[in-house]
Amino acid sequence: MNRSMIRFLLAKLLLIEAVLLLVPVAIALYYQESSQVFIALFSTIGILTLLGGAGVIIKPKEKHIYAKEGVLIVSLCWILWSFFGALPFVFSGQIPNLIDAFFEISSGFTTTGATILNDVSVLSRSLLFWRSFTHLIGGMGVLVFALAIMDNAQNSHMEVMKAEVPGPIFGKVVSKLKNTAQILYVLYLALFVLFIILYYMAGMPLYDSVVIAMGTAGTGGFTVYNDGIAHYQSSSITYLTSFGVLVFGVNFNLYYYLMLRRVKEFFFDEELRTYFLIVATATALITLNTVHLYHNVSESFEMALFQVSNIITTTGFGYGNITSWPLFSQFILLLLMAIGGSAGSTAGGLKIIRGLIMAKIAKNQVLSTLSPHRVLTLHVNQAVIDKDTQHKVLKYFVIYVMILIGLIFIISLDNNNLLIVTSAVFSCFNNIGPILGTTASFSIFSPFSKILLSFAMIAGRLEIYPILLLFMRRTWSKR
């Protein structure tokens, strides 16, 4: 194991986080906030600078990274960034409990949007901004961001990016890994800026537009007010948010195809078509099932589309109380929590491509009973999915279900309501945010459950393996 390279890269990543914390410092200066906020921010920056600086003094002789190092760098980076990113809240006294602050910022970086806060007004403008800024950073990936700006001329960090980018198959859009990271981030930030402008034009204040756009881009869900998007009382903003999160739930490689005018590859992508079919079907079913709760069909459709788009993209922007919805509609949302968005997007969840592959495996299995000697191949987008990839998808699903059941079993010690416990676990593990069956925040859970759910958020964002391997003795062996 190349421990010196792990230490060196983690130190560089801590220095990057220190630089990023200068953004909320600028916000605090603009709004002339209290000295306590500045002390909290600069104390955290100082700690990160000291640790990061100490780690980069000695450069490693061997710079190559293998799969083991890639997994450790990714998992440790997300945990460390979440821990140190939580310190400003603790030092300022705005979230004095370290476990609560760690939960909040883990939720931010993993773009979950779950919160322990019952009242976001306790946060200053700068820390409210930092809370949502973590969505923007974590949306495309902390390490993808780092690779986009770090020196990587030898293309040696492939294993790092493979360990972080969601989906069963990793692919570069161009030959050089650094260029891939840069292209993805340029597309990501361009869409982010576009939605700042659109929200501002729709009537949001500039500060709100930036914060909501960060939640939209990262499919995170943190907002400025306790009542979320409902605060603006605007159908145009509601529809714009629904459309925005759906845009960021699409595989970003497809947007690169659009840039190259490969329009056919975009619109004929099988995962994309399935994604929109699921959204349309779920929205129609919920609209019909909840129409009696609203003044007319258009209002029911608006609410249904908002909730469906926010849940399937694992965003979780709040709008009203859905605990009054029929169980049928809430069950649909629970299913969407598991499905998630597209691979290669900022959305979490199991991913639609995995669902597609598993559905086709099941179909082939049924057909094989009719023709046992027939060789059946599995295609997605006219490309053959080999047996190795099929087995990986099935194994991932088995591990996914086992962890979900285990988490539900443990968290049930905190609460006797099955819907609340199940949706809380689904919400954290699939990086969604809201809890079904209650209007309460995650403050209802014990400190132990919050720690467990925090790691569940990070595990879900990194698609399980990096966090599981972190706790295995074999991962840390020298061989």
Bridge partners (DSSP) of residue 384 are 379
Instruction: Report yes or no on 467 lying in a domain.
Output: yes
Give 227's pLDDT tier (boundaries 50, 70, 90): confident
Instruction: Report yes or no on 442 lying in a domain.
Output: yes
225-229 contacts, C-beta under 8 A, 24 or more apart: 225/120, 226/118, 226/119, 226/120, 226/121, 227/318, 228/317, 228/318, 228/319, 229/306, 229/317, 229/318, 229/319
Helices assigned H by DSSP within 165-234: 177-201, 206-217
Instruction: Classify 66 as helix, strand or coil.
Output: coil
Residue of 165, 226, 177, 137 lying closest to 348 (CA atoms): 165
Give tens-digit pLDDT for 96-120. Answer: 999 999 999 999 999 998 999 989 9
Residue 153 has a pLDDT of: 41
In angstroms, rounded to a whole number, what is the distance separating the alpha carbons of residues 145 and 17?
11
Instruction: Report yes or no on 323 lying in a domain.
Output: no
> Is the distance from CB of 44 to CB of 88 less than 8 angstroms?
yes
Instruction: Report yes or no on 425 lying in a domain.
Output: yes
> What is the residue-averaged pLDDT of the chain?
86
Instruction: Report yes or no on 180 lying in a domain.
Output: no
Instruction: Report yes or no on 431 lying in a domain.
Output: yes
Residue 170 has a pLDDT of: 43
* Percentage of the chain exceeding pLDDT 70: 91
Instruction: Report yes or no on 238 lying in a domain.
Output: no
Give tens-digit pLDDT for 167-190. Answer: 554 444 444 455 666 777 788 889
Number of structural domains found in the chain: 1
Instruction: Report yes or no on 245 lying in a domain.
Output: no
Give tens-digit pLDDT for 372-414. Answer: 777 788 888 878 888 888 888 899 899 999 999 999 999 999 8
In angstroms, rounded to a whole number, what is the distance separating the alpha carbons of residues 206 and 200?
6
In angstroms, rounded to a whole number, what is the distance separating the alpha carbons of residues 192 and 219?
11
Residue 445, domain extent: 387-476
